[in-house]
Structure 1
Amino acid sequence: MSKYADVIKHLKIILYIIRKSKLFLVSAVIVVFNYLPVFAQNRLSNNIQLPKFEGASMRDVFEILKKDQAVLFSYDSKLLDLDKEVFVGSYQGTLIDYLEKLLGKQYSFNETNSHIIIRYAPQQMNLSTVDLDTTKNNRTRISGYVKDIRTDIPVSFATVYDRTTYQAATLTNKRGYFELDVKHPEATFTIALSKENYRDTMLVLLLPVEVSLSGKERKTGYYYASDSSKMISNTAFGRFFTSSRQRIQNLNLGGFFVYSPFQVSMTPGLSTHGLFNSQVVNKFSLNIIGGYTAGVNGTEIAGAFNVNQFDMHGLQFAGLFNVVGGDVKGFQAAGISNVGLNKLAGAQFAGGWNSADTALSGIQLTGGINKVNYAPKNLQFAGVMNLAKDEIGSQLAGGINVAKKVHGVQFAVVNVADSSDYPIGVFNWIRNGSRQLSVGIDESRFTNLNFKSGGRVLYSVLGIGAYLSYHDVKYGIEAGIGAHLLRRTTFTLSTELVHRTHFDKDFKYIDPNRSSLRLVPAINLSRHLQVYAAPSLTYAEAVNPMQEARGRVWRFWGADQRRNTFHGGGTIGLTYIF
C-alpha cells in the first residue's frame, strides 16, 4: 500500500503545480515500465528462486513455475518447443528477468488477470513526439509519431489505444502518425502501442485535469487460440464483414480484450467503442445493421449480423448471420446462418445453416444444413442435410445424414456413416455396419432380390421382384426397416417391417399394396452365406375386388384376391453377406 500512497502523493503535487502554472500542454511523458508493477498484478515482478537446470525440458521449468509461483502461461503452440532442453544456472531475482534469460530478449511478456502471455517480439517501437490538444466538452486529442527504436523508421499500422479506459483506438498511417480522440480523460492517461512482432509499449501522460481516482479499474482478459485457422480474421466471413484496419488491429492486439457494460453500433466501423470495438466484450450489444465485437457475455441483437472475435455467452439474435470466433455457450438464432469456429454448448437455430467445430452438448436446428466436426452429445435437426466430420449424438434430416461415428439415431432418406447402430432411412451406407444381398420367394410366389444395409442394430430394406402367377399384378418394389435381434456364430435372428408397391406388366402403378411383418431366422452356412425361412404376418389389399365383398378377412395362409386380407405367410431364400 505504501507504493500506491507514494505514487498518488507525487501525482497530486505535480498536478497542483501544473494547474497553478496554467499549463495546457502535456506535463510529463513517462515510460510506463517504471510504474507498471504498481498497478498490475505483479507476477512478473515477483522475486523467485530456482535451482540449476541442465538438460531439463522447458515444459519441466514451466511446470515448476506453475506449481511454486501459481503462474499460468499462454502462447502460440508454434512459438515454443516445450520439449527443448534448457541449460540455465541457479537463479534468484524477478520472474520477468528469468523469463528473458530462459527464452531470450526477442520475446515479450504481458500479464492478464490469470495468465502471462508470451509473444515473439524481436523489435521495439516508441513515440518520437507527442502533442496534446484540449478541446471543448471535456475531450482531448492526442497525436504523435511511432518509430522503430533501432532503425528510426516510421511504424505503420500499429495499434494505438487508450490503456486507461479502453474507449478509443486507432492505427498509425504510413508515416507512423496517429490521432487519438479521448473522451473524459483522467489525470493520468496511458497510451498503449501494439503491433505484431513488436514489444508492447505503454506511456503514461500526466494531463492538466482534476485528479479522480474513484473509478474502478476496467476488467481485462486474454483469449488464447491454439489453432489460428479458427480465428475470425482468417475466415471468409471475417474478411467479408470486417475492414482491413480492423484485421490489422486484431493481429496487433492478439487475444487481448476488455469488458464493457454495453455498446451500440450502426456498422462494424461505426460503434460507440470506435475502432476498439473488436477488443471489447459487452454485456449488452445492439447492432442496428451489424456489429463487430470481441464477444458477448449477456445479450446481443442485430438487424442483419453479429460478428464476435472470441466467445458468445448468453443470447444472440440476428436477422441474417451470427459469426463467433470463440466458444458459443447459450442460444443463437439467425434468419440465415449461425457459424461457430470453436465449441458449442447450447442451441443454434437458423433458416439456412448452422456450423460449429465442436459441440459439447446442445442442439442444432435448421431448415437447410447443420455442420459440426465433433459432437458426441449433440442433436442435429435439418430440413436438408446434417454433416458431422467426426462423432455426433443423433441426426435427423429430411434429406441426408453424414457422420463418422453416431452414438444415437440417424433418421433421413439417406444415412452415411463409418459407425452407426441405429440408422433409419430408405438407404443406409454404414462402413462398419452390415450389408446383405438376399434372394427369396414368398407364399404369393413373389420372387424378390433385396439389398439390406445398416448398422449393428437397425438396417434398411430395398428390393425389387416379380410375381410368377398373377397376371394383373406383375412387379413389385419393397422398402422397409429391419433390426438384428440376435447374432451368433451359426445363427442369427432379425425382424423386418416391409411395404410392397405394385405395378402391372407395363410398369404402371396399380392400387393393391401390401405390408408385412417378418421374423427372419437364418443359419450361417459360411462366413458370407446364409439360408433363411421367415414366417410373416401380412396385410394385403384385394387384387380383384368384388363389389359385394366388404370388410376384411383373416386367413391362416395366403391372401384372398377378392378382399382385403390379414394373413399368414412366409419367405424362404439365400443371403450373401459382404
Structure 2
Amino acid sequence: MMRIVTIIYFVCFLFNTRANAQSILGRKVSLNIVQQKLSVVLTMLEEKGEFRFSFNSDILPVDSVVTVKENNISIAETLEKLLTDRFEYRQSGNFVIIRYAPLELKLLILEALGTPELYTVKGQIVDKRTEQPISDASVYEKFLLVSEISDVDGFFVMRLKKITQPISLTISKENYKSTTTHFLAEVNITNKQENSSETFVNGNLEEIAKTWIGNALVTAKQKVQSVNIGGFISKAPFQFGLTPGLNSHGSLSGQVVNKFSFNAVGAYSAGVDGAEIGLVFNIDKSDVRFFQFGGAFNLVGGNVQGAQIAGFFNYVIGDVKAAQITLGYNHVGKNFEGFQVGGVYNRINENLKGMQVSLGLNAIGNNLNGFQVGALNLIAKDTRGVQIGVGGNVVNGRSTGMQVAGIANINKESNGLNMAAFANLTALTARGAQVGVLNYAKTLKGLQVGILNISGENDGYSIGLVNIALKGYHKLGLSTNETTELNAIYKGGSKRFYNMLMFGTNTKSSTKIYTGGLGFGKEISLFKSLSLNPEISSQYVYQGDWEYVNLLSKFELPVNIKINKWFAIQGGPSLNVYYTKQQTAIGDYGLLQQKHKDFSFKNSNYTGWIGWNVGIVLL
C-alpha cells in the first residue's frame, strides 16, 4: 500500500528577485534617470554592478522610456521598478537572466517513498492562481540530473537513485517563474554532500533543433525541456546514448554537458568538455571541446575547439578553433581558426585564419588569412595568403598574396601575384603581378605578363603579344627603313613601358623579305610636343624558307614630334644585329648580310650595321 510521507519543507524559494544579499541582484546602486530608454538604463546597471544581462529583446520593451530616481537601491529592486512582476530575474555566474514570466507555478507532492537506492516522487504541477493543471512543464533534480515532463493533467512520476542529500526539485515552464523546492525524504541521508554544477550559457540554444536534421532527430520532450529550462546547463562526467531519446540522462540530456559521451547510434547533449564518439551522429546544442567523432555527422549549436571528424559532414553554428575533417561537407556559422579538410565542400560564414582544403568548393563569407586549396575558391571580402584553385579563385575584395588557378583568378582588387593558365581579371586596381594568357585590370599599377593584356588605365608595365590600355597608351605607327620598305607597328601599354607588335615587308628585293616580331619601348618627354623613344625589338625574317632561324634585333632611338593630339612624325638611327644560317643565291649567309656590311664577325653567322627609321604615328 502506497503511503503518503510527511514532507518537511525547509526551503522554498524562487530564482527571482529575492536572491542572496551578497549576489549580483543584491548589489546596491544609485540612479538618477529621467526619461531614458530602458536599454540605456540596463547598460548603466551593467556598468555600475559589473555584470551582464541576458534577455530576449523580442519580449523586453527596450525602447520604452523610464524614469528612476533612487539612492542605495538593489539591482533586484531596480528591476522590479522597471519591469514590474511580469518578469523573472535569475542569477548565474556573472549573468543576470531576465525571462518573461508573468505567471507562477505550484508544485504539489502527492506521494514520496522509497530508499536512498531508489526513491519515487509523484506530484502535480498547477497554476498558482487558478489551480489548473499545467502540462509539458519540466520537473528536474539538478544534483542527480533526473527529469520528467508533466502530462496533460499536470501529473508526473520521478524515480531517483542513490540519494545522498535532500531532494531539490525545480519546476519550469515557458512564461512561468521557475520554482525550486527542497525537502527531506523519509530516508536515511548520508553525510556525502553534492554541489549542483548548474551554470548558465548565454545565447539562443534552440538553433540546432531548428535545422532540418536536428528537428527530425531531437525528441519532443527534449525540445520542451530546452524551452522550459533555457540556458541553465548542468555538467556530468559520462553519458551513454543509444538514440537521442534513449540515453543515461533521459529528456534532460539537452541540458547536460558531458566530459565523455559514447553514443551507439547518436545522442543529443548540451555540449562536450572532453570527448564524444557517436558511431552514427552527435548533436550538441552548445559548445564542444577537445574531440568529437561522428561516423556520419556532427551537429553543434555552439563553438568547437579541438578536433572534429565526421564521415559525411560537420555543421557548426558558432566559431571553430580546431582541425575539422570530413569526407563530405564542413559548415562553420561564424569564424574558423585551424585546419579544415572537406571532401566536397567547405563553407565558413565569416573569417578563416588557417588552412582550408577541398576537392570541390571552398567558400568564405568574409576574409581569408591563410592557405586555401580547392577546385574553386570563393571569398566574399579580402584574402591574405595563398589560394590554389584547380578551376579558379574568386575574391570579391582585395587579394594580397599569391593566387594560382587552372582557369582564372577573379578579384575586385589585387595586391600580389596572380597566376592563371587562362585569365586574371581584376575589376578595380591591380598592384601586383598578373601572369596568364589574358590579363585585365581596370587600373594597372603593377605588372602584366601574357598574350593579351588589357587595362583601363595603365600606370604599370604590360608585357605581352598585344597590350591594350583603353584610357592609356595605344598608338599605331607606319614607317620605312633601310631594310624593309613598309612597316606597321602597334604600341600599347604606358609611357613608362610599352610593348610593340611589329610587321614589315620589302617587296622590291629579288628575294622577298617579310618580318614580324615583338619589342619594348619607353617614352621620355623632352618638351611639350617632343619626346625621345628608346626601343628594342626582335623580329623573325622570312626569306622563302621556314626551315631556318633568321632573327633581326634592333635598338632604335627615334625622336617623336607631336603635330596635334592624334598625329606625330617620328624618326632616328638604329643599331641592327642579324643572325642567320640560311644560304641564298645572293650570298653565303642570306640577303641582309650581302646588303649590309658595316661590321661583321669573322667565321660567324652574325652581321651588324647602323640603320635608320622614319615614319608617322597615329595617336
Normalising to structure 1: TM-score of the pair?
A: 0.72
Q: Quick one: which of 335, 338, 349 aligns to 1:359?
A: 335
Q: Quick one: which of 263, 282, 301 aligns to 1:306?
A: 282
- Of stretches 38-47 and 207-216 in structure 1, the one that deviates more from structure 2 is 38-47
Q: Quick one: which of 207, 210, 217 aligns to 2:195?
A: 217
> Shift of the alpha carbon at 1:78?
2.8
1:427 aligns with 2:408: yes
Match of residue 601 from structure 2: none
| Change beyond 3 A, Cα 1:391–1:78 | farther
Q: Is the 8 A contact 1:427 1:460 kept in 2?
A: no
Q: Quote the Cα distance in structure 2 between the aligned partners of 1:213 and 1:36.
A: 30
Q: Quick one: which of 431, 437, 448 aligns to 1:494?
A: 448
Q: Quote the Cα distance in structure 2 between the aligned partners of 1:569 and 1:57.
A: 81
> Which amino acid in the other structure matches residue 216 of structure 2?
F
Q: Quote the Cα distance in structure 2 between the aligned partners of 1:452 and 1:275.
A: 56
Q: Quick one: which of 209, 231, 256 aligns to 1:255?
A: 231
- Of stretches 453-462 and 262-271 in structure 1, the one that deviates more from structure 2 is 453-462
Q: Quick one: which of 155, 158, 181 aligns to 1:177?
A: 155
> Shift of the alpha carbon at 1:527?
5.6
Match of residue 526 from structure 1: 471
Match of residue 237 from structure 1: 213
Match of residue 193 from structure 1: 171
> Which amino acid in the other structure matches residue 411 of structure 2?
I
| Change beyond 3 A, Cα 1:286–1:568 | farther
> Shift of the alpha carbon at 1:333?
0.7
> Shift of the alpha carbon at 1:195?
1.5
> Shift of the alpha carbon at 1:33?
1.0
| Change beyond 3 A, Cα 1:303–1:525 | closer
1:46-85 mapped onto 2 (5 Å cutoff): 46=26, 48-82=28-62, 84-85=64-65
Q: Quote the Cα distance in structure 2 between the aligned partners of 1:120 and 1:335.
A: 42
1:146 aligns with 2:146: no
CA RMSD of aligned residues (A): 3.7
Match of residue 182 from structure 2: 204
Q: Quick one: which of 87, 104, 107 aligns to 2:87?
A: 107
Unaligned runs of 5+ in 2: 416-421, 453-461, 475-490, 502-537, 555-619
> Which amino acid in the other structure matches residue 96 of structure 2?
I
Q: Quote the Cα distance in structure 2 between the aligned partners of 1:233 and 1:58.
A: 32
Q: Is the 8 A contact 2:36 2:67 kept in 1?
A: yes
Q: Quote the Cα distance in structure 2 between the aligned partners of 1:36 and 1:77.
A: 19
- Of stretches 371-380 and 73-82 in structure 1, the one that deviates more from structure 2 is 73-82
Q: Quote the Cα distance in structure 2 between the aligned partners of 1:377 and 1:268.
A: 34
Match of residue 504 from structure 1: none
Deviation readout 1:520-548 (Å, 9 max, x if unpaired)? 89684616978146599xxxxxxxxxxxx
Q: Quote the Cα distance in structure 1 between the aligned partners of 2:21 and 2:321.
A: 32
1:410 aligns with 2:387: yes
Unaligned runs of 5+ in 1: 1-22, 435-449, 464-481, 499-516, 537-555, 571-578
Q: Quote the Cα distance in structure 2 between the aligned partners of 1:518 and 1:524.
A: 12
Q: Quote the Cα distance in structure 2 between the aligned partners of 1:308 and 1:569.
A: 73
Normalising to structure 2: TM-score of the pair?
A: 0.67
Q: Is the 8 A contact 1:495 1:520 kept in 2?
A: no
Q: Quote the Cα distance in structure 1 between the aligned partners of 2:396 and 2:293.
A: 35
The higher radius of gyration belongs to 2
Higher normalized contact order (CA 8 Å, seq sep 6+, divided by chain length)? 1
Q: Quote the Cα distance in structure 1 between the aligned partners of 2:552 and 2:120.
A: 92
1:453 aligns with 2:425: yes
| Change beyond 3 A, Cα 1:177–1:216 | closer
Three-state SS of the structure 1 residue aligned to 2:56 is: coil
> Which amino acid in the other structure matches residue 531 of structure 1?
G
1:95 aligns with 2:75: yes
> Which amino acid in the other structure matches residue 387 of structure 2?
Q
1:529-548 mapped onto 2 (5 Å cutoff): 531-532=492-493, 534=499
Q: Quote the Cα distance in structure 2 between the aligned partners of 1:233 and 1:461.
A: 48
Q: How many residues align?
A: 468
| Change beyond 3 A, Cα 1:82–1:324 | same
Q: Is the 8 A contact 1:483 1:495 kept in 2?
A: no
- Of stretches 392-401 and 204-213 in structure 1, the one that deviates more from structure 2 is 392-401
